[in-house]
Structure 1
Amino acid sequence: MSKEILDNVKEYYGTVLQKSCDLKSDVCCTAKTRVMTKSAKEALALVHEDVDSRYYGCGLIVPECLEGMKILDLGSGAGKDSYVLSRLVGEQGHVTGIDMTDGQLDVARKYQQYHAGKFGFSKPNTDFVKGFIENLGAAGLADNQFDLIVSNCVVNLSPDKRAVLAEACRVLKEGEEFFFGDMYADRNQSEEIRQNKMLWCEGFGGSLWWEDLYKIAAEVGFSRPRLFAAAKINVTNAELEAIIGDSQFASVTYRLFKLPHTNEPVTEVVYNGGITDFEDSFKLDHEWTFNKGEAQVVSGEVATILKTSRFASKFTLTATDRQPAYNEVSRARIGLGALDF
C-alpha cells in the first residue's frame, strides 16, 4: 500500500496536475492562515511564473527570523516556497528542497540561476535533491544539519507520517523547529476515504486526526505541537464531497520544536524587537504573542524555546517567582477546537 500511495502521488503531482487550479478543493487558496509580510510579498513577486503556476500548497509557509538560516523544504515541488525563503535567508543562508517527483524538480532546478540574479546574489543559495521525506538519510541528509525545516501540505500525502516526523527531528538542530502547514481532519478517516485514490492525492485521505499529531510528535522527540494558524478547507468537487460526508478538514500551521530534555523554569521574558517585519510584536503561536518591551511570564517550555532557538537573541529572560497568566498544560490540547468544528 505504501508504494502504491507514493506512486499515485508522484503521478498526480508530476503528470495529472499542471497548475494550481486543477486541484479539487480550495486548499491552495488558504493563505488567510497568516498575513504575508512585506518581505515575503517582495520575494514572491520575483518568483518565476512557471514556478508559481505549479503550486499546490496550503498558503505560503514563511516563518520568522530567517537571515543566514540553513533551511530544508520537505516536498519542495517546483520550488515556490524554497525560492521565497532563499531570498529571505540572504546570500549567506541556504535552502535545500527535497521532492520525489522528477517533473517538479526539473522546474525548480531550471530557475536556480534566474532567482539568484533576481535576488542580487552572486550564485544560487539553493539546491534541489530527489528523495523521499520518509527517508532523508538516503538523500544524504545528516543528523543535526538544518536550522529550520518547513513543509507545505505534503505530510498528509505520505503513507508513513511517523517516519516523516522522525526524520525531520533527526536532521534538525537542537532547539530549532519544524514549521509546517498541512491538512488535518476532525476525526479518524473511514476506509472508504483512505482507499480513494483521488481523495488521497488531494490530501483528504491521508489527513491526520489532529490528536494523532500530538502522539506522533511526542514519540519521535518533538515538544508539544504549537498551533499557529488554521483555516477550514472546502471541497469543490461534488463527487468527492459525497464520499467525505460529515468529515471536516482544515489547513493548519503547526510549530514542532526539538528541545533539550531539561526545560527552563517559569520565566519572565521581554521581546526586544529586531525580527524583520515583526519589530513591534512577535507571535509564537495562537496563545503567545509578545509585544516589544512588554514583560510576560511564560511556562518552562516556552522559556526553553525562546532561549535555545534562533529567537534567543531577540529576548531577555529573567528568573521569576511569578506564575504564567494561565496553565499551558490544561490548554495544551486545544488543537482544532479553535476552528469550531
Structure 2
Amino acid sequence: MYTEVSEYYGKTLQGSEDLKTDACCTDTDLPAHVKTNLSNIHDEVLARYYGCGLVAPQVLEGARILDLGSGSGRDVYALAQEVGEHGAVVGVDMTDEQLEIANRHIEYHRDKFGYAKANTEFHKGYIEKLDELDLEPASFDVVISNCVINLSPDKESVLKQVWNLLKPGGEMYFSDVYSDRRVPMELTKDPVLYGECLSGALYWNDFLTLAKGAGFVDPRLVDDRPLAIDNAEIEAKISPINFFSATYRLFKIEDLDSSCEDYGQAVIYKGNIPLHADRFVLDTHHSIEKGRVFPVCRNTFRMLGESRFAEYFEFIGNGENHFGIFPDCGELMPFSSVQSNSASTKTDSSSCC
C-alpha cells in the first residue's frame, strides 16, 4: 500500500476539500492561541494539509517532538511555535511532494517566528521503519501523529519504534481512526477507502492489545467522536462497520500495573500550566481541578510524577499499602459474591476512574 498511499496524498489530493469523508479531521474548535499559530504558517503549507484540528498535548515549551506522517509540515510548524526556540520539532513522511513543500518553507518560518536558527527538520521515511532514520533512541519528549497510523501496513512496528524513540516518561499523543470490528481483508485493498483512513483502521480492541505489547501498558483515551460518512458510495462499501476518531496518550513508563490499582495515593494540581489554570485534563476519566485532593491509581500517580507534568502537581502517599482494584475503574474481582455486592461498596472519593 506504500505506493497507493503516496500517490493518493501526493497526486490525487490537492487539498482537504478533496477528501471524501471527515475521517482525517480532529476537532475543528481550536483554541485562540492555536489559531494564531496557524495564521503564521505559509499558505502553501496550509493548502496541502489534509485534515483539520491539531494534535497538541499540554506543556510543550522546550520539548523535542516527533511528528509521524508530517505531510506538508503544518503541524510541525504550528508546534514549532509551542516548543519555542529552544525546543525542536522533527517531521517524518514518505511522500516526496509533501516533503518538498515542507522543506521549502523552513527558512520562511524561522524568520516568521523570529528565531535565530530553525527548530524544525524533515526526514523522508516510513513510520514503521524509524530505526532506519538518523533519529537517536530515547531522544523525544513527545511523539504525535494526526490520523496517519491507520495508513501504515505494520502498526505494531510503529508503536514499538515510538517506544524506542521516547525518553523515559515521554508520551505518544495522537489521533487516529478505529473501527468497532475488524475490517474485512477485501476492503483493505480498496485504495480510496485506505487513503480516506477507513479500511486501514484498527479494531479498537486490537489497538489496545498492540499498544500494551509495545510497552504502553495503560493507554489513556483523551477524546473521541463517531465519524460521519457523507459519501453514499463509501458508506455502502463499509456498512455495517462503524468508525471513530479518537485521541490517545501513551506514556513510556516501565512496569506500570496492568490494571488500575489503588495504593491510597492522590495528587493536587497546582494550577500553573499556561492555558490550563483551573483544571488539568489527563484523559476522559481524569479532569483534575486546581487545589483539590484527587485520589488516583498508582499508574496515574506515576504518569504525572515521572513525566514533564511532575512540577505542576503535589503528590500524596508513598504507595506502600495496596487496597485492591481502584473503585469504579471498570474491573471487578471475578467472584460472584463480590460482584453482587459491588454497588454497596462504591465510595464518592473514588476519583481515578
Shift in Å at residue 57 of structure 1? 3.3
| Matching residue's letter, 1:307 | G
Query: Unaligned 5+ residue runs, structure 1?
Result: 332-341
User: How far apart are the structure 1 equivalents of 2:135 and 2:98?
Assistant: 20
Hey, what does 1:37 align to over in structure 2?
A: 31
Hey, what does 1:256 align to over in structure 2?
A: 250
Kindly indicate whether residue 16 of structure 2 is the aligned counterpart of residue 15 of structure 1. no
Shift in Å at residue 31 of structure 1? 1.5
In structure 2, the CA distance between the partners of 1:309 and 1:329, relative to structure 1 (3 Å rule), is farther
Q: Which SS does the other structure have where 1:174 is aligned?
A: strand
Q: TM-score of the superposition, structure 1-length normalised?
A: 0.91
User: How far apart are the structure 2 equivalents of 1:211 and 1:111?
Assistant: 40
Q: Deviations over 1:168-208 (max 9, x none)?
A: 11101111110000011111011232121210111111000
Shift in Å at residue 8 of structure 1? 0.6
Shift in Å at residue 277 of structure 1? 0.9
Shift in Å at residue 330 of structure 1? 2.1
| Matching residue's letter, 1:103 | E
Note if contact 1:269-1:318 (Cα within 8 Å) is conserved in structure 2: yes
Hey, what does 2:197 align to over in structure 1?
A: 203
Partner of residue 78 from structure 1, selected from 69, 72, 82: 72
Note if contact 1:58-1:182 (Cα within 8 Å) is conserved in structure 2: no
Q: For the pair shown, which has the larger CA radius of gyration, 1 or 2?
A: 2
Note if contact 1:51-1:107 (Cα within 8 Å) is conserved in structure 2: yes
Hey, what does 2:345 align to over in structure 1?
A: none
Partner of residue 223 from structure 2, selected from 229, 234, 237: 229
Kindly indicate whether residue 93 of structure 2 is the aligned counterpart of residue 99 of structure 1. yes
Hey, what does 2:22 align to over in structure 1?
A: 26
The alignment's C-alpha RMSD in Å is: 1.9
| Matching residue's letter, 2:253 | L
Note if contact 2:270-2:291 (Cα within 8 Å) is conserved in structure 1: yes
Partner of residue 294 from structure 2, selected from 273, 296, 303: 296
Note if contact 2:23-2:197 (Cα within 8 Å) is conserved in structure 1: no
Q: Deviations over 1:252-298 (max 9, x none)?
A: 10111111225694411000122121111110000001111111010
Shift in Å at residue 246 of structure 1? 1.2
Kindly indicate whether residue 61 of structure 2 is the aligned counterpart of residue 67 of structure 1. yes
Shift in Å at residue 81 of structure 1? 0.8
Query: Unaligned 5+ residue runs, structure 2?
Result: 333-353
Note if contact 2:8-2:195 (Cα within 8 Å) is conserved in structure 1: yes
| Matching residue's letter, 1:316 | E
Partner of residue 215 from structure 1, selected from 209, 220, 226: 209
Partner of residue 128 from structure 2, selected from 134, 145, 149: 134
Hey, what does 1:282 align to over in structure 2?
A: 280
Matched residue count: 325
Shift in Å at residue 238 of structure 1? 1.9
Q: Which SS does the other structure have where 2:62 is aligned?
A: coil
| Matching residue's letter, 2:94 | M
**Which has the bigger relative contact order, CA under 8 A and spacing at least 6?**
1
Shift in Å at residue 29 of structure 1? 4.3
Q: Which SS does the other structure have where 1:310 is aligned?
A: coil
Note if contact 2:297-2:326 (Cα within 8 Å) is conserved in structure 1: no
Note if contact 2:215-2:254 (Cα within 8 Å) is conserved in structure 1: no
Shift in Å at residue 18 of structure 1? 0.7
Structure with the higher fraction of residues in helix conformation: 1
| Matching residue's letter, 1:235 | I
Q: TM-score of the superposition, structure 2-length normalised?
A: 0.88
Hey, what does 1:334 align to over in structure 2?
A: none
Q: Which SS does the other structure have where 1:200 is aligned?
A: helix
Kindly, what percent of the aligned residue pairs are identical? 42
Note if contact 1:37-1:277 (Cα within 8 Å) is conserved in structure 2: no
Note if contact 1:134-1:167 (Cα within 8 Å) is conserved in structure 2: yes
User: How far apart are the structure 1 equivalents of 2:174 and 2:220?
Assistant: 11
